[in-house]
Structure 1
């Protein structure tokens, strides 16, 4: 089973997590910029954080055989802090970087006017830079927040196929399925989706435009729940092609629209394609395999 986790916050995780993820079949991931828990007080702290997503974290992932990409944006929670809003002026410099495959996480936290302003401004940047957009739907009033998110997306003029609405669930997926946007689901203990609930959604709505992620971060979370979802799909009667579509082909297709995605062409999980020492900085260079760069 090959896995591309399209939303995971590895800055919050340990090297043991990278080892376990590789052993579970994870070969690529996208790390969205997000709230770190402790409020940031100036744009300079964001610059340092963005530099880490583009430099240190891809190197750390490579030591364990995993391709790392990121999304860059001002997250909804900190969009409410006037000390942070000047970050919007910094974003074009970072959105031009090769390792950035989308604008995000953007969207709503508590659906304030400040959040909507930052959301709309960053969708405009996504259009300008021809990048996909990763949209965070709020954890409270999810139905109302998802509906408002779709309205802001429609107002922006961005191609719906360049947008994924994340953190969806049974109450919100129906709002998105006919819009042309991609649908993201976080398999996350206690507060979001479980593998069994995800399987029920896939049985009802199919596998097209579906992205499954762990959203693992500094909270109670599990970076191996993508694997658990694949296993639950197989147990429920989905075949290996269905699992590969959800866990590899769909995230690859979505982020390839950036023109910057750089993943192993086969996504092979066979140990023969990876250097024997997974801690080597060259571990991500899968010998004998070509590299696929997605186009828009």
Structure 2
């Protein structure tokens, strides 16, 4: 079984997670830039973070046989902080990097005017750089948030078939599917979706344009949730081809829209800028 986790924050995870993910069949990941749990205080902290997603983290993933790409953006939560807005001016020079396969996470947190402006601006950047967009739908008031998101997408220069609407659930899946966008579902231990609900959605709505992710980060989360969904799909009568479609071919197709997706893993480099992942014995 081959698995592509299309949304996981590996900067927040350990090398043990990489080992376990590889053993479970994960061979590729996309790491969206996101909020780090506390406010950033200047745009330069974003740039250091972006650099790590383009350098250190792909190196770290490669040591465990996993291809790593990223999406970059000003995230919705910090779009409300005026100190962070200059990041929008810096993004164009990062969006040309080969490891960047989409603009994201963009979208809504609290559905403020500042978030409206940041979403529209970054959809425009995606269109200008011929990249797809990964859109975070809000965790609160989800249906209203989805509708507002779809309205902004329709007003943008980016075609809906180049947009992935993430963090969907039972209340939003139908309208998201009708929008023509790709459909993303985050499977968590306690919140968002679980394996059983995810499989029920697949049975009701089919596997077309569906991506399943763990969204594992610094909070309570599980980087093996993609494998657990795959196992339950098989147990519930889905075919191996269905599993491969949802857990591999669909994310490859979506991020492949960037023209930059490279699933070959180069493990020849044992250090990155003089640093290794070893401790004590290097």
* Superposed displacement of residue 108, structure 1: 0.1
- Structure 1 residues 11-39: Cα deviation after superposition (integer angstroms, max 9, x where no partner): 00000000000000000000000000021
* Superposed displacement of residue 220, structure 1: 0.1
Question: Residues of 1 paired with 2:113 and 2:151: CA distance?
Answer: 14
Aligned 8 A contact 1:64 1:280 in 2: no
Question: Residues of 1 paired with 2:38 and 2:164: CA distance?
Answer: 27
**Which secondary structure does the structure 2 equivalent of 1:177 belong to?**
helix
Is 1:13–2:8 an aligned residue pair? no
* Superposed displacement of residue 190, structure 1: 1.1
Question: Residues of 1 paired with 2:268 and 2:20: CA distance?
Answer: 16
* Superposed displacement of residue 61, structure 1: 0.2
What residue number does 2:88 align with? 88
What residue number does 1:48 align with? 48
- Structure 1 residues 109-151: Cα deviation after superposition (integer angstroms, max 9, x where no partner): 0000000100000000000000000000000000100110000
* Superposed displacement of residue 218, structure 1: 0.2
Question: Residues of 2 paired with 1:75 and 1:122: CA distance?
Answer: 10
Alignment of 1:1-296 (within 5 A): 1-264=1-264, 281=269
Aligned 8 A contact 1:212 1:246 in 2: yes
- Structure 1 residues 156-184: Cα deviation after superposition (integer angstroms, max 9, x where no partner): 03111110000000000011112210000
Aligned 8 A contact 1:199 1:233 in 2: yes
Question: Residues of 2 paired with 1:252 and 1:180: CA distance?
Answer: 18
Question: Residues of 2 paired with 1:129 and 1:104: CA distance?
Answer: 13
* Superposed displacement of residue 280, structure 1: 6.8
- Long gaps (5+) in structure 1: 265-273, 283-296
What residue number does 2:279 align with? none
Matched pairs, number:
270
Question: Residues of 1 paired with 2:268 and 2:185: CA distance?
Answer: 33
Question: Residues of 2 paired with 1:142 and 1:236: CA distance?
Answer: 28
Aligned 8 A contact 1:33 1:73 in 2: yes
* Superposed displacement of residue 189, structure 1: 1.5
Question: Residues of 1 paired with 2:20 and 2:167: CA distance?
Answer: 24
**Which secondary structure does the structure 2 equivalent of 1:106 belong to?**
strand
Question: Residues of 2 paired with 1:180 and 1:115: CA distance?
Answer: 22
**Which secondary structure does the structure 1 equivalent of 2:103 belong to?**
strand
Q: Give me the CA root mean square deviation.
A: 1.3
Runs in 1 of length 4+ with deviation above 4 angstroms?
279-282
* Superposed displacement of residue 281, structure 1: 4.3
Question: Residues of 2 paired with 1:158 and 1:53: CA distance?
Answer: 25
Question: Residues of 2 paired with 1:125 and 1:280: CA distance?
Answer: 34
Aligned 8 A contact 1:57 1:68 in 2: yes
